């Protein structure tokens, strides 16, 4: 694959070949080393490592569990997924993503920005220290989890490409590899999967690009090697295995919105007051993956998934019933 | 009067146990914690599956009887039908008590406003009179009306399939093919019930009639 690297940009961000190779070696060594991670908490000691679970990640900033709610077991978070490119059943992604190759990887940056082109993932990630963020994840299907992601603010990455004043939105695209993603054989959605954000949403510090969870590299079923995490929006906005990021002037089309515009909005902010046409969004079933887990799982859903204080101002003056 | 215990009577207790087995397995799996990350969804899903399967099994009795010529198979029908109702009750009980537990106000809003719940709830309501009148005494008392009333059962799997199809995230049938399979099985059982021979004869008579009418353009002559 030809990977263009515009000469006028990011000089400090280009990884010399040797350094890149050495870094790979270190990552490999880490992956093969003891799997118990310092500070990874119960994720490291008590859970089975998923078959394709990645290596340990170097985390610069380790956030406390700001959510203050019990974390979901890693086993549950990596075996109960919606990733239709690998099948529509919850256990399909873990079962069917073994053939998926998340490296080498590159991402195309396009549209209304001073710097565009195709960049190797390593070069994209290099300047960003990884942080751990413990976020609630609320699925539009009315279940939720609490997951420790490893990533960095999406805005930090976007700014490097100097979006122009025409960049009102950011559009994302998932990789389209029918040979490695058996779910693509079924026209459930208009493949490839697409998502989008208004630029101010994308620049919000809570929006992150994740490369890992529970201290490890993202497993394939969770969107390896690069995915979006937007804790105040329904899970389907968190697009996985991103290969393209485009700055656009007009609101981009998004996969679920195109499939059922009356059911899945462009904004898709978690909102207990606005029901899905076919089911209630007032409450959710919290999946912890521990114990028998039969009783007391249902909790009230909060506006913006509990992040209203941080993000509500983004939507001031908007009719959230109409712009759901 | 000494009743002769034939093979249908003898096979009923094991069939009863067999029908109970899915519930026993489900309870066992729940107690063992082997229902996966979202056990409540599994309980709802599997109990609903068995309700649908038993409903279809009940509707399969008559075709099976006709095809095999073993008419005493009809004696299994009540047992299967009542078990179908039983699994619908279990399914609803799991939803109300285990899943919605504590959020009772939500149920009234959902029954009224969410079509998949409305449809599922309607199916349960319609099954109640059928279950209550399933005894021999009620059959005798209701006579011809019993059969008319119990035709309601043909509606139930349809409601069940709709209930299933409407609750999934994607309205796309490809995303969730299972309701489609149940729907196909139901359609086959209903198509079998269409009195094809009578329809064919009726059609023939009709065609003969129009042919005769064509030959006699004078409407008065047709009388």
Query: What does the domain layout of chain A look like in residue ranges?
Result: 15-315
pLDDT value of residue B150 = 93
Contact call for B33 and A293, based on CB within 8 A? yes
pLDDT at B168 over 80: no
Q: What is the ipTM of this complex?
A: 0.77
Cβ contact (<8 Å) for B174 and A82?
no
CATH fold, domain A15-315, is Sulfite Oxidase; Chain A, domain 2 (3.90.420)
- Partner B contacted by A75 (CB < 8 A): yes
d(CA A43, CA A64): 14
Asked whether the predicted pLDDT for residue A5 surpasses 60, the reply is no
Q: Quick one: pLDDT at residue B171?
A: 60
Q: Is the pLDDT of residue A20 over 70?
A: no
pLDDT of residue B221: 45
Q: Locate the chain B residue with the closest alpha carbon to A286.
A: B38
Lowest-confidence range among A16-20, A318-322, B144-148? A16-20
Any chain B CB within 8 A of the CB of A189? Answer: yes
Please tell me whether the peptide bond between A225 and the residue prior to it is cis, using omega within 30 degrees of 0.
yes
pLDDT of residue B175: 66
- What value, to the nearest 5°, has the Cα angle with vertex B63 and ends B4 and B120? 105
Spell out which residues of chain A touch residue B43, defining contact as CB-CB under 8 Å.
Answer: 294
Does pLDDT of A46 surpass 70?
Answer: no
Q: What is the mean pLDDT of chain A?
A: 85
Is pLDDT at A270 greater than 50 in this prediction?
yes
Among the listed residues A299, A135, A263, the one whose alpha carbon sits nearest the alpha carbon of residue A204: A135
Q: Could you give the 3-state DSSP secondary structure of residue B156?
A: helix
Chain A: closest CA distance from residue B112 (Å) = 11
Q: Residue with structure tokens 């599997």?
A: B46
């Amino acid at each position: 694959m030809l990977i263009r690297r515009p000469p006028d940009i990011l000089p400090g961000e280009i990884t010399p070949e040797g350094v890149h190779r050495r870094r790979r070696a270190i990552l490999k060594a880490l992956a093969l080393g003891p799997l118990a991670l310092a500070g990874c908490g119960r994720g490291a000691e008590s859970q089975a490592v998923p078959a394709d679970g990645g290596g340990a990640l170097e985390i610069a900033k380790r956030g406390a569990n700001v959510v203050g709610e019990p974390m979901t077991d890693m086993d549950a978070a990596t075996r109960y997924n919606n990733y239709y490119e690998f099948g529509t059943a919850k256990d399909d992604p873990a079962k069917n993503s073994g053939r998926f190759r998340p490296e080498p990887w590159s991402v195309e940056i396009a549209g209304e920005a001073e710097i565009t082109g195709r960049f190797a993932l390593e070069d994209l990630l290099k300047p960003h220290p990884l942080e751990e963020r413990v976020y609630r994840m609320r699925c539009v299907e009315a279940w939720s989890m609490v997951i420790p992601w490893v990533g960095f603010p999406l805005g930090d990455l976007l700014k490097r490409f100097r979006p122009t004043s025409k960049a009102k939105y950011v559009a994302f695209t998932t990789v389209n590899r029918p040979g490695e993603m058996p779910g693509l054989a079924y026209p459930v959605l208009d493949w490839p999967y697409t998502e989008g954000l208004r630029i101010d949403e994308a620049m919000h510090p809570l929006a992150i690009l994740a490369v890992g969870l529970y201290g490890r590299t993202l497993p394939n079923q969770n969107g390896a090697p690069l995915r979006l995490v937007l804790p105040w929006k329904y899970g389907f906005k968190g697009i996985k295995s991103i290969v393209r990021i485009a700055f656009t002037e007009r609101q981009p089309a998004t996969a679920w919105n195109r499939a059922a515009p009356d059911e899945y909005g462009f904004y898709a902010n978690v909102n207990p007051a606005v029901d899905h046409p076919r089911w209630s969004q007032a409450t959710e079933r919290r999946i912890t993956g521990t114990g028998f887990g039969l009783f007391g799982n249902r909790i009230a859903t909060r506006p913006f998934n509990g992040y209203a204080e941080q993000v509500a101002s983004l939507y001031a003056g908007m009719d959230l019933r109409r712009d759901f | 009067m000494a009743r002769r215990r034939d093979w249908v009577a003898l096979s009923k207790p094991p069939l009863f146990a067999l029908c109970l087995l899915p519930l026993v397995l489900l309870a066992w799996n729940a107690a063992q914690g082997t229902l996966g990350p979202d056990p409540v969804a599994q309980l709802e899903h599997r109990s609903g599956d068995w309700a649908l399967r038993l409903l279809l099994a009940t509707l399969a009795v008559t075709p099976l009887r006709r095809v095999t010529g073993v008419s005493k198979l009809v004696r299994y029908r009540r047992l299967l039908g009542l078990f179908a109702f039983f699994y619908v009750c279990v399914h609803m009980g799991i939803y109300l008590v285990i899943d919605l537990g504590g959020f009772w106000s939500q149920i009234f809003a959902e029954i009224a406003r969410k079509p998949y719940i409305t449809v599922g709830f309607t199916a349960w309501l319609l099954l109640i009179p059928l279950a209550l009148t399933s005894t021999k005494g009620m059959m005798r008392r209701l006579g011809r009306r019993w059969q008319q009333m119990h035709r309601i059962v043909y509606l139930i799997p349809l409601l069940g399939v709709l209930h299933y199809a409407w609750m999934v995230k994607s309205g796309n049938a490809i995303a969730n093919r299972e309701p489609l399979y149940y729907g196909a099985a139901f359609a086959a059982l209903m198509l079998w019930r269409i009195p094809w021979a009578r329809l064919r004869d009726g059609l023939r008579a009709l065609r003969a009639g129009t042919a005769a009418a064509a030959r006699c353009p004078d409407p008065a002559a047709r009388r």
